[in-house]
Structure 1
Amino acid sequence: MYFAKRNSEEPEIVIENTVVYACESASCNGWMRKDFASENYVCPMCGSQLIEEVRELPKIQTDFNSFK
């Protein structure tokens, strides 16, 4: 049998300050990155308003970010 060698080096995870919209309701944990939020600032899970805040999150690379 053949077992592939796993790469011993893990990719570096880059943490950056990211603007997110978080649900203002204390009973809801909903949030989303600003890049993926619609202009409708309502929580999709509970219907409360979303407020802008900054969190330290892993950087993600999407095709959407390259069109900005």
Structure 2
Amino acid sequence: MHLYYSRKRPFEDLPVEVTAIWSCPNENCKGWMRDNFTFSIAPVCAQCQSEMVKCERMLAALENTSPNQLKQ
């Protein structure tokens, strides 16, 4: 018998909100990042090095408490 235990909260319990993100415009790339987790004003895609475009997605609410967070 194999038991599975996870400390992660189920996705249903996480509140979602409209979140500003940067998305890769390259149709062959699926790269994206949250705006409040970037280190530059106009980031480039870490996967294909294309200039990213700003847009929005419904994502789980997260707060970036890093002291290195870009202040906008």
What TM-score, normalized by structure 1, do the two folds share? 0.71
Residue in 2 that maps onto 1:21: 22
The structure where strand makes up a greater share of residues is: 1
2:33 is the counterpart of 1:38: no
Larger Rg: 1
Give the gaps of 5 or more residues in structure 2. 1-9
Structure 1 ranges of 4+ moved more than 3 A: none
Task: Report the RMSD for the aligned CA atoms in angstroms.
Answer: 2.5
Aligned residues: 58
What do residues 6-59 of structure 1 show as CA deviations (whole Å, max 9, x unaligned)? xxxx68210100000000100000000001112152111101110000000001
What TM-score, normalized by structure 2, do the two folds share? 0.67
Task: Work out the percentage of aligned pairs sharing the same amino acid.
Answer: 28
Give the gaps of 5 or more residues in structure 1. 1-9
